[in-house]
A and B are shown apart, each in its own frame.
Chain A
Amino acid sequence: MRELMVRAMYCEMLGYEADFVYIHAIKLAQQGTVLEKRVGISIFLKQNMYYLQDLQSTNLIEVCMALTVVSQIFPKDMIPAILPLVEEKLSHPKEIIRRKAVLALYKFYLIAPNQVQHIHGKFRKALCDKDPGVMMSSLHIYLQMIKENPASYKDLTGSFVTILRQVVGGKLPLDFNYHSVPAPWLQIQLLRILSLLGREDQSMSELMYDVLDESLRRAEMNHNITYAILYECVKAIYTIHPKAELLEKAARCIGNFVLSPKINLKYLGLKALTYVVQHDANLALQHQMTIIECLDHSDLIIKRETLELLFRITNAQNVTIIVEKMLGFLRLCNDDYTIIDLVGKVAELAEKYPFTIWFIQTMNVVFSLGGDLMQPDLPSNFLRLFADGSESEEQDRQLKLYAVDSYLAVLKGDCSHLPQRFLQVISWVLGEYSCLKEDVDQQEVIRLLKKLLEQRGVSSETRSWALSALTKLCKGPGYAELALELAESLSSSLDTVLRQQAHELCLLSQDSQLHARVLPHPAPSDNLEVDSSLSFLDGFVSDALAAGAAPYKPPHQRQEELSQQRALSLEPYGLSLPVTMSSCTLTDRQSPTFLSMSSDLSVLCVCSANTLMLEGVKRVWGKDGYIPQKEPSLTPAAVDEPSDVVQSPDQQGAAETSLPEPEPEPPQLDQEKQQLASSLFVGLGSQNSMSLLGKTEVAVPRFRRKARQHESASTSGTSESSSNSSHSSRSTTDSFLYGGLLEEEPATPIQNSYHTLNSTSENEGAATVSAKEDKQANSSQILGKSIVSQRNCSKSLPVAFPHSSDSMVLQLPSELQELPHSDVVSLTSDPHLSVSCCRVFREDALLLVLLLFNPTETALRDVAVELSCEEPLMLNTEEYGKLWLSISNDVKQNLKLLTGGGDPLRATLNALKDSLQLHIVDIIGSEGIVACHLLRGGPCLMHCRVHGASLAVWLRSPLPSLPDCLLYHCQRALQEH
């Protein structure tokens, strides 16, 4: 295995793909010996999790390796997981560990500075570490931090100076010497920090003078490393507040560099000089001969650096020659980066001295050399300068004439190789200024431009520049024919811009008055006033709106809607949403989602939540108030009785009397009722179909547990663990109940001496169970008690308890009364029966106590209580579409498709509808959409598509576990079919 891994690594190293072995590498790193660990870790850095374990190891080397890996490229989102472990390592007894930990933190700092903010104190501790290696590592962090914010670390200047002094004085162990120079890396790091701290700060700088002087003095050995230090010293000296004495020494150093025969030193000298001349241009004078030599150096790099230096010392006198040198270099150069850089610099120089023929010449060369690589603002800068002109009219004129002449000359030659940008500039200048020149025939200019227009290999952008130049030139009746010809040839162009321009040209050339107005000559140099609010269009807009046009939507809104539509169109029912997205229909929408609810209690917030989502913010362009925002009328408690409430078949047959429909509860429920609602909702019979029979019957709700926890349940038929994972952000009790509901397992049939369960049909999320009771309970209360998921099996405890016949207040059975419980709340009552309920919180379960009270003397028989917590959500397709988009939490699954008889999709959905109280919103072709919602809870949307013999179901709900639960019940329902 190891052998193979090494080979794979070698492949990787040579640049071949070896992704497939990563996982094996990780495995190897996890279980292997140290060698294997090393092998696995060192190269395959892409996977990261495994060294979490190593960080905690007690083995020094393993920790080292883990830290090494951590410090390599590391993803940002992993940092919080690793950070505490690494932080802990900062106080490790071994210095190597501390050092690596500090560097790892440095890396973290680079990746995500705000995540290590809290440990700045520890960085200070690292800086004071007794081991110089650790101290040195911490300097990396400090350099970075000081770079970002020098002001807050000024207090450390003294310490840095002291450290540097010690280092320079050779106080460090000899290990750190490099070619008998004490810790050069450390010195350089410190010098950098000092220069940052001392910049533009005299008091800080004064602290450093001595030590800088000493560094300069000490570094006199003839070795690269001392030069490196010297270079850094010089830079520092020139960065901080100047001190004449030091500057002099530094200048001498630079002189040594520049004059050195070693090419590397020369290069560095030039670089230093470039840095220095900004402060002191005279230094360059001392070395001018050397600079000239370097300018003709055979090594391009040296040349380039010299040009850089020259660029810094350019003034009005030497600009011509320096630019010439730069252009010369440009001609030789073939590296894109260098070209872009140099072209920019030349243009910058040239623009400092405009209004000369030299300027035009230079820019011409720049355009032709720089071509299309250059920064796009260069040509426009040039044109602006050119158009603005100088103070002197005459000079201006001369300049423009010269430009026109030179460009005509360029165009007369072969211009196929010229960069597009240059051609654009030429077109513009000719269009604007060729009329200044009397002796040139306008026809000639036009002919050239036309040639350019028709030339192959010219981009359409350039064409449009040329065309607009032509438009400017074609004034007066003489050109009408030409204009027509052009317009005709271009009217079939694929480029719409060109076509439009051709059309404009055609019109403008026929009407010279219009031409003069549109294209006044000379072009006004001051900025045209643009009415950015486009107020002159207001009249048009309001007319159009009055005529029924759709209001304008700003691009971002359109984009949004477009993306929504796009997102929709990916989903099958998007097709059936006609123009819902257009704001016309949006604004016409008056009725929000009409939610029909059978329950009186649980209507509260669902509705408003839904309706709010429907109304998008509209922006209307044009007359304000044109489209008044229509407030969605909230109809929170739209109540109707669902027709498809499932009833136990046997009950249905036996139903003799049924309770009157429950009254709709007003939306303003007080707190208590809220609680009640939630307690009801947990599965207690929302009394939507309660049938009273002569015979007493006690309902024992049965709960189903969602699929996820089903395995555990199946191991022991009776044992269930109640898990009350709250997944709803309601009040704690609510979520407690809520969670309890969705997590329930099917209880084993509940039987005790009093009850025989007569389980009939089950409902999703709740169950309808009718239990017959032998006991004849005349005129006494019946306590139906549902016991929700206990470890020791659910049981039912019918407890007769004393009642006062004159009072409706019911009491809990004595054994439950000690437990914390909610108030007994009356749910509904009528002359025959009153129903109350109470929640009892036991340690291991939530008990829901249903109290049925029969005030009459007649015996109660066959009470069936149906518990439902979910019900159909009445939506139309359009609302469904909107709701769908607003919800995430996708769950996808394939379900069995019912076969036999007609449309399998319809059959399946109907079956689901019957057994699970769903609302089938629409069926389109092989796809169907279904909606339901929890009482008091969020909606759940289901999208089904027939896929071969199975039904691909895609559920969305704001409640994370609702789709899972629903899916489970769908599966059950289909199996039972």
Chain B
Amino acid sequence: MLMQFMLLFSRQGKLRLQKWYVPLSDKEKKKITRELVQTVLARKPKMCSFLEWRDLKIVYKRYASLYFCCAIEDQDNELITLEIIHRYVELLDKYFGSVCELDIIFNFEKAYFILDEFLLGGEAQETSKKNVLKAIEQADLLQEVN
């Protein structure tokens, strides 16, 4: 079930968000990112959302101009990972109100907070949309009070 990492990148191949759940060197991360962005961008829209890459499975999905891309282990359930991506997008959407790429660029820290609240250490932590958003809102509130 453990997710290895999650990448968000634009159609132009610009990295927007990255989250690594396994320890890797920076060099390795860069290499993986470059490789994956290339591979995923080269795929046609009608193609399967799953990729075999090295010994991992890549599950990716495109939302508007953004690609969400997760790496999971081979025996994991690809569909549920797809739904994790979808749930994350839903959360972003709900939080920002019809999210777009710019929201993530300018409020990337919020995007990270939401992701942390939703996935912890590569595992789905809280799948209830309401609870995640409540936690985020509380944190935001506290932050403003300060």
Contacts and interface: CB of A to CB of B under 8 A. Distances in A.
Contacts of B135: 64, 96
B127 interface: yes
- Contact residues on A (Cβ < 8 Å of other chain), bracket: 35 or more
Interface string A48-63: 0000000000011100
A514 B139 CA distance: 86
A225 B84 CA distance: 10
B113 A38 contact: yes
Nearest to A43: B112
B120 A71 contact: yes
Interface in B43-97: 46-55, 77-80, 82-83, 86-87
A281 interface: no
A754 interface: no
Interface in B107-146: 108-109, 112-113, 116-117, 120-121, 123-131, 135, 138-139, 142-146
Contacts of B82: 224, 228, 264
Interface residues of B, number: 56
Nearest to A74: B121
Contact of B142 (A39, A61, A106, A266): A61
Contact of B123 (A140, A299, A301): A140
A301 B50 contact: yes
A101 B28 CA distance: 30
B30 interface: yes
A225 B79 contact: yes
Nearest to B82: A224
A264 B109 contact: no
B48 A264 contact: yes
Contacts of B54: 337
A114 interface: no
B79 A228 contact: yes
B126 A71 contact: no
A276 interface: no
A337 B23 CA distance: 21
Contact of B120 (A15, A100, A264): A100
Contacts of A43: 109, 112
B36 interface: no
Contacts of A192: 1
Contacts of B125: 99-100, 103, 133, 137
A912 interface: no
A436 interface: no
A844 B102 CA distance: 71
Interface in A243-281: 263-264, 266-268, 271
Contacts of A13: 15, 17-18, 108
Nearest to A131: B131
A263 B121 contact: no
B121 A103 contact: yes
A879 B145 CA distance: 70
Nearest to A38: B143
A320 interface: no
A757 interface: no
A174 B77 CA distance: 24
A17 interface: yes
Contacts of A299: 47-48
Interface string A134-174: 00110010010000000000000000000000000000010
Contacts of A133: 125-126, 128, 131
Nearest to B34: A15
Contacts of A72: 21, 121
B18 A301 contact: no
Contacts, number: 151
A34 B141 CA distance: 10
A972 interface: no
B33 interface: yes
A38 B109 contact: yes
Interface in A563-618: none
Per DSSP, chain A at the interface is helix
Interface string A313-341: 00000000000000000000000011000
A175 B129 contact: yes
Contacts of B139: 34, 38, 61, 64-65
B144 to A, nearest CB: 8
A123 interface: no
B78 A268 contact: yes
A17 B50 contact: no
Contacts of B146: 33-35
Interface stretch (A178-186, A397-405, A677-685, A862-870): A178-186
A337 B143 CA distance: 47
A61 B78 CA distance: 33
A39 B131 contact: no
Contact of A34 (B26, B113, B142): B142
B29 interface: yes
B55 A34 contact: no
A644 B2 CA distance: 71
A731 B142 CA distance: 58
Which of B46, B55, B80, B113: most chain A Cβ within 10 A?
B80
Contacts of A263: 46-49
A61 B131 contact: no
A17 B22 CA distance: 19
Nearest to A75: B23
B78 A17 contact: no
Nearest to A143: B1
B130 A175 contact: yes
Given A13-B18, A96-B135, A137-B125, A264 B142 contact: no
A9 B50 contact: no
Given A106-B121, A133-B131, A33 B49 contact: no
A263 B22 CA distance: 30
Given A228-B80, A231-B77, A267-B48, A103 B120 contact: yes
A433 interface: no
Nearest to B19: A72
A231 B120 contact: no
Nearest to A271: B78
B120 A304 contact: no
Interface string B1-12: 110000000000
A232 B82 CA distance: 14
Contacts of A271: 78
A99 B120 CA distance: 10
A176 B55 contact: no
Contacts of A99: 125-126
B134 to A, nearest CB: 9
A137 to B, nearest CB: 7
A302 interface: yes
Nearest to B17: A13
Contact of A338 (B33, B52, B130, B138): B52
Nearest to A186: B127
A179 to B, nearest CB: 8
6 contacts: A61-B142, A185-B80, A185-B124, A185-B127, A301-B48, A301-B52
Top 6 A-B pairs ranked by shortest CB distance? Answer: A228-B79, A33-B146, A175-B128, A35-B143, A228-B80, A71-B121
Given A9-B109, A35-B146, 10 more contacts: A13-B15, A13-B18, A72-B21, A72-B121, A73-B22, A103-B121, A188-B80, A225-B79, A228-B80, A268-B78
